[in-house]
Structure 1
Amino acid sequence: MANSLLADHLDRLISGLSDATGSERSYIDEWARLQRENGPSKTEDTLNIEDSSWQSVLDLYNSQIGVSNPLISKLRLKPNFNTILPSIHSLLSSNRSDDEVSAELVEILGFDDIELVMQVVSSRPSLVHEMEQLLTVHTFHDGLSYY
C-alpha cells in the first residue's frame, strides 16, 4: 500500500510536467518504463505501516534492501551517497592506517561529520562487508541509482 501511494504521488507529479526539458523528460520516461517493467511491489499487500517499528521512511527503505548497520544509514543521508560510496568503500578496505583513513574521510564527508568519521573508522571491517553488498546491488544509470 505504501509503495502504491508513492507511485500514485509520483504519477501525479509526472503528469504535471508538460514543460519538462530534454533531460527531465528522459528521467520521466525512465520512471514510466521502470514502473511498467516492475509492476506493483510484492510487499504492497503484506506491509502494515501502522504496526511497524520503523522510525522513518529511511528505516523502512533500509529494511527492504537489507541495510542493518546504522552507520550506513547515516551515510545514506548524504545527498551524494551514490557518488561517495565507492570511494569510502575503497578507503575503508585499504591497508592504510586509521589516521590516514580518518583524514581522507573528513575530506569526503566534511568537518561537520567528524563524529561520524570516528565511528566509521572504528567499524571498518563490518562496514566494508555491508558496503560490498550495497555496491553489488547498485546499478548506475544517468546519475540515478536504482535498487
Structure 2
Amino acid sequence: MLDIVKDLGFSERKFELSIGKSNGYINGMRKRNSSPTVDVLFDIVKKYPQFNINWILTGEGSMKVDRSLVNEPRSSYSKDKIDLQRIWAQNNVIIDNLKDLNEKVERVESYNKDSMERNDERLEKLEFIQQRLQMLQIVDDLEDGKDKDHREGNG
C-alpha cells in the first residue's frame, strides 16, 4: 500500500481519506504488522483502477495496469470491453467469495477462542476436583490407619 501512496505522490493521510479510512489506518497496520482487509483492497482498486489488482493482492507482476490496449485498433475495443466486463464480473464474484470466507474465518476464530476459554475453565475445575479427591484419599488413608491401629490395640 505504501508503494501506491508513494506512486500517487500522496501523504498517508490523504491516501487513507481517499479510500474512506480514518487518519492513522496505515500506521496502525504497520504497528500491528497486519495487512489490509479484502474490503480495503477492493476500495483501492475501485478508486485507483490504474493499479494492477494482481500486484495489489500478491505483489507479483506489474504495479500498474498495462495500458498498451490504448494503441490497438478500434475494432478490438468491443471484444476487449466484453472480456473486461466478464473479468470484472469474475473479480466481483471472487471478492464476494473472499469476503464470505473472511467472515467464516472470523466466526471460526471466535468459536475457537470461546471453546478454548471454556476448555480452560473445565480444566481448572477438573484440576480442583482432582486436588480435592487426592485430599480425600489422604484423609481416608489416615482414617484407615487409625482404625487399623485401634483394632490392633495401638491406639
* TM over 0.5, shorter chain: no
Higher relative contact order, structure no. (Cα contacts within 8 Å, ≥ 6 residues apart)? 1
TM-score range, shorter chain: under 0.3
How high is the TM-score relative to the length of structure 1?
A: 0.24
Query: Would you tell me which structure has more helix in proportion to its own residues?
Result: 2
Bigger strand fraction: 1
- Taking structure 2 as the reference length, the TM-score comes to 0.24
Mark the structure with the bigger radius of gyration.
2
